[in-house]
Amino acid sequence: MNTVDCCSNALLAKKQIKDAQTAVCNPSDDSDNHQFITSSAFTNVALAEVETGVMHLAVSSTAGLLKSTVAKHPGLPRSVTIQPSADPFIDGPSRPVSDQQRQLLACYLQLPEEITSKEEFNQRIKFSRWLSEAWVLQHTRAEVLKSVLTADQVSDYRLYLQDLPPAAITAALALDCLKQKLRHLDWTYQNLPARLKTPSFNQFCLQIGALPVNIASDYLQSVQYSTLVATCPDTLKYVPPEHQNYSMCLEAIKNNPRLIEFVNPCATFYPELCSMAVQKLNFLCDSISESVADQLIDQLGITSLYYIPQSLRTYQRCVKAIRQTDLVKQFDYIPRQIFLEHPELANEVFHKQWSSSLLKQLPDSAKTEDFCQRYLDKWPGSISGCPPSLMRAHAEWVERAIRAGATDCSIPESFLTVDLYRRILRISPFNCSVPEKKFQDHPDLLFLAACSGSYSLKKIPAPLKTMDVCCLALEATDPYLKTIEHVPESLRHQLPYDLLLAVAPQYLPQDIRQAMVARGDTSLPLSCRQRGKPILHRHILLEPLEPQPYGELKFSSSIFLKKTLLSSAPFTLRNLAMGHALQQTIEQHCCQQKQRLDQAQLPVLTQPLSGNCTVYGGRALMTNTRTETSRMKFLRSGEPLEDFFREEAVHRFVWNHGLGGSLKSEVPWPVGLKLVPVELMPEDIFAGFRSRLETVALGSRCFYLMYQFTTRNQDYSTLAHQKDLYGNSTRAEQGLINASYDLGVWSSLGAVHTSTIQAYHSFKDNRRELFLCFMFDHGRAFPGALTAWDSEATDESDWGYSGLRDIGDMEFYPGITSYFDAADATAFMPPGFDQRAAFMNAFCENMVAAVLHYARMHRDDSDYHYKDAKGRAKLGAFIDQAIGAFLSGLVGRSVKTAEYFESPEIFQQWLEKTTAETTLWTARQNLNSDCFARSLNENRCYPPEVYPDQKITPYRYQYPEDYTSNGQDNLGNNHGQFGLTLLIRGLYQVAAVLAVELGGGK
């Protein structure tokens, strides 16, 4: 397609937009009012918008780069002729949308359709966790469900009985589910359709113990009880007491200790079976007698009062049980009446036993100051029941209780100030219920509750559920918590379309959803998107959140970014036409070099490799001359040839097209591919490689395949996480900034670098380093701890003194694939959205990589400390520069990072908090100095200067045990989240604004 065609199509597209908008809608300035657009008009508008934007940028922005097609160095071959592409989704490389993807998209959008085949059902139910199990079941023909559903599928996909159409529930499926005891999914006899409960069906239910006892008597006349119980132990409940015997009951209880409840308590063997159920099977028997209770304590040594029914927990038995054990929480099982009658019991055993609820049990006379002091030292969060007079005298008790997760209900109302509510909402929002009057008088409390993600919208009074509050709550919570159900019905259809698309797409107008499926993308036209810059609420952006092990962070920012990426148009990249040409060049180059290799046309090294070669990286050599450094990179074992050939193709493309003037990093001069005979590789050099090399057999000889290129000096192989020989970091930092800028330039071609540090290479292993992990795995709201961040994770990287290295290691938007191979990438991702998420994940992870290099280089500096303003200011300036450099390279103009935030003031606040958190986690941990490790070990919490309102967990996590792997520091608790939470949320803010910009928004 030539330039004239592009201009003609641009004019046609503009006319289509104008005609469609005039005929269909006249958008209001009120962003909360939505215009309803027919599906055909929606498609026309959306296509026209994308085509116009892409054509304009493809013609104007790429023209300068395409002027020079003559190589500056005549020794290099000319590249292919390049024509600007009008639409990357028509002319350029793309990921075509398959029928299967469209069907899954229709399922995600919950469009009414009928699933008519086993294949369609299996395809949808596979992703039902990310879509809607109930919707899939309700839209599948009953005969299909009858033929395909099994009890295993019901269990694996957690299919509730009530979600299945009654006509689809067969007797065979019902019996299998009853046999597997899927009671947690409501598969019980009582819930089954009445039509199934025939005499023959009931007979089968009897044999598997699923028939209710009150019905079973009608089917027991001709039954052999011993045979029945031997076949299914659960049928012991049907056996009358006079027919029970020891062996029958013994075998049944071994299989299911709960059956002790159906054993005749008057039987002589009952105490023995009861003791076995309690002692060996840890089952609580509610029906044991007093003699059995004494036997359990006296003879069998059962010391946990939990196993003694409450009615039998006398003072004597409680004291006896407590005195012969060191078990904690025994007090929890002592009836309150015993403490009222014997208050001395608490002091008698206080030195041995502790309880999290003792103060609620004790009479006031026993709650002395000394007793409460000792008790709350052990259980700081269990302040409920503490006398108010002591709370007033010891404000520190209330302080510790709040930090330990105490609920507002455990503190007298007179103590609950606005500030206290504010702190509880930050620390444990799940445990808080703010009175309506407090919300009305202090709106910031209301927004804080809505943003927390754990304060259910259900608890907010109906009159206060405004549009803003509902939007914040929906953005901050996982869609699978079904927060949408607590949004007033009158507001659901008025919610912004992009938010509905992310959390409840079924509420979007049906014609818009149909148009999305027809187009194969979730993007909304500009007229239906939210206007203005997307802004992450400052409570979410700026809230310092200590990473908690085994739990998700409060104040999640995932939906905020997801809604933007879902609704955005396909990204319009200013040099995408150049990117298409680069892809063509790479494909041609790889094909040619593969042919040359197969035909033995590559030059062969005839002299042994020089002894003055230096090994660097995992599989490369370099030799120095006066004017340049010659480098040889070898094919790694198992590496695809296409990947190895790509680097030379990219180097030649840069030199052929004058791209060097647009890049700030040094681009090597390509010499070419060569074959190195195995015998010419010196043993000492070969032993220095960390990577195993691939051998190539040609005829009777074996060779190593090598790509040779030259650089100006050794800066290319000097990684930018280290200072120079004089202790100066200027060259390294400039290399990081240059690399950031060039990553932006390459991204403007659609060329995305997805593995710039070692941590980003292992996609098929555990990839918790997906920084947009919520997009790829809806079960995780934040990336996990980064293992060995200052060693193995960054030892081998593409960030050098010379800038970005290994520039051939790239993928192309919209065809990025590596992230979807990750172990954590299990979610269904609608077409189009998946590529936008992948593009932004690369941006986020590369900015994190830049910060990690800086932190590794400076972590031992005297001013690199969370309390040192000077050191933090230097880190802040670097973060600002690195992100700004990437953005400038991407959009083709000088950009300030602050432009992508709500305001310069908010950006500065974020930067100050981010540098404090980053230096806290990445500074060298020395238990003899002020650092997070010492604070954690001594105080069971992180420094309050960085995390002022943090929860004290009952777990005693320690450094280095819980924060290192094989002696190497991890960024985050080994079972928790990535430590740099503020950095990630700031990058989400930038990514959201960038997505709007690249998607044609303003």
Supply φ then ψ for residue 977, to 5 degrees.
Answer: -95, 165
Q: What is the pLDDT of residue 279?
A: 63
Indicate the length of the chain as a whole number: 1002
Read off the tokens for 672: 């070419």
Residue 84 CA from chain centroid, whole number: 38
For CA atoms 27, 497, 905, 885, the dihedral sign is negative
Question: What is the tens place of the pLDDT at every residue in 919-975?
Answer: 999 999 999 999 999 999 998 889 999 998 887 776 778 999 999 988 999 999 888
884 and 739 Cβ atoms separated by less than 8 Å: no
The full DSSP string for 729-742 is -HHHHHHHHHHHHH
Rounded CA separation 442/419 (Å) = 10
Read off the tokens for 961: 């045990």
Q: What is the CA radius of gyration of the chain?
A: 34
Beta strands in 584-647 (DSSP E): 614-616, 620-624, 629-634
List, for the chain, all residue ranges whose pLDDT scores fall below the cut of 70. 1-95, 128-130, 278-289, 292, 295-304, 306-307, 324-332, 347-357, 480, 546-556, 762-769, 778-781, 954, 1001-1002
Rounded CA separation 544/426 (Å) = 9
CA distances from 848 to 577, 800, 864 (A): 29, 16, 18
Helices (H) and strands (E) in the chain, counts: 41, 12
Q: What is the pLDDT of residue 58?
A: 33
Supply φ then ψ for residue 697, to 5 degrees.
Answer: -95, 120
Q: Is 989 exposed, middle or buried (0-12, 13-18, 19+ CB in 10 A)?
A: buried
Read off the tokens for 899: 């432009």
C-alpha closest to that of 839 among 641, 586, 638, 579: 579
The half-sphere exposure of 931 on its side-chain side, counting CA atoms within 13 A, is 20
Q: What is the pLDDT of residue 761?
A: 74
Q: What is the pLDDT of residue 231?
A: 85
Q: What is the pLDDT of residue 770?
A: 77
598 and 114 Cβ atoms separated by less than 8 Å: no
